[in-house]
Structure 1
Amino acid sequence: MIDRALRDLVRARAARRCEYCGLRQELVPLVAFHIEHIVPRQHGGGDGPENLALACYHCNLHKGPNLTGIDPGTGAIVTLFNPRIDAWGEHFSMEGAVIVGQTPTARATVRVLSMNSPTRIELRMELGARS
């Protein structure tokens, strides 16, 4: 069980941003961001802070229990982005409102989390890219 203090720690550590797409919680106040298990419980992941991330509803629902994805550039199966060990800026960049994967991990994450679906690009355009 994740208690309130741990939830608050995860939110503060993430500066109240989705740790996958960067969306700020304050910009979508009607839908609370999720405390997400990076390695899902069903795969042995725990409830400690090292396995928790803040995720917007879109990224969390698309990630689900996935640990890997297929890099569309190489066809290789690779691990997904892990906000506890990977630096966002080393894996992703922005081209306008489009999140670009710079590494196999990032390209697979963009694909699995559907980060550039038309509705997400439209939302980022309305909000000013990685607001």
Structure 2
Amino acid sequence: MTAYVPKKVRQQVIERAKYRCEYCLIPERFLATYFHVDHVRSLKHGGNSDFDNLVYACPHCNQHKGSDVGTFADNDGETLIRFFNPRRDNWADHFEAVEGEIVPLSAIGQATVTILNVNQAERLILRRELAMIGLYPDV
């Protein structure tokens, strides 16, 4: 399900994100694809298109996240762990970038890293190359 987001609001979301994915922090200028303005909490799960529920995401993170809001990434397999929320969480509280790899520091970080598949080989290679020349992460 999609909802119309006015052009002005879309631009504000992009600027707030500093032109990078709010999940994996890859700057959009390094991908030959369009980034998405999407919902942190999907419409299907009661989210809305207000500025505070919108996120700027690379297509890789956004497609893996889909309309999900969390996963059963804990040891007992019974507890739903929500994903990282760029509107409410501090990236550095849940992740650390080590030579381009995104290392989870919390259960929320682990759930997000796992489902968004942020350390997939091709993605990791690009971030490692950028880290080597000081362009990742730019927190």
TM category (shorter chain) comes to over 0.9
Which residue matches 2:96?
93
Does the CA contact (< 8 Å) of 1:73 and 1:107 recur in 2? no
Cα pair distance change 1:100/1:73, threshold 3 Å: farther
Give, as a single letter, the amino acid of the residue that structure 1 aligns with 2:62: N
Which residue matches 1:106?
109
Partners of 2:118 and 2:108 in 1: how far apart? 13
Equivalent residue runs for 1:38-77 within 5 Å: 38-71=40-73, 75=77, 76-77=79-80
Paired residues, what number? 130
Does the CA contact (< 8 Å) of 1:69 and 1:78 recur in 2? yes
Whether 1:130 and 2:133 are equivalent positions in the alignment is no
Shift of 1:73: 6.0
Give, as a single letter, the amino acid of the residue that structure 2 aligns with 1:66: D
Shift of 1:16: 0.6
Q: Which of 39, 50, 58 is the matching residue for 1:37?
A: 39
Q: Which of 107, 118, 121 is the matching residue for 1:118?
A: 121
3-state secondary structure, aligned to 1:108: helix
Shift of 1:127: 2.2
Which residue matches 2:12?
9
Q: Which runs of 5+ in 1 are unaligned?
A: none
Give, as a single letter, the amino acid of the residue that structure 2 aligns with 1:121: L
Partners of 2:76 and 2:137 in 1: how far apart? 27
Shift of 1:90: 0.8
Equivalent residue runs for 1:12-27 within 5 Å: 12-27=15-30
Q: What TM-score, normalized to structure 1?
A: 0.92
Partners of 2:43 and 2:7 in 1: how far apart? 19
Q: Which runs of 5+ in 2 are unaligned?
A: none
Q: What TM-score, normalized to structure 2?
A: 0.87
Deviations 1:39-94 (A, max 9, x none): 11111110000110000010000000110123356754200000000000111001
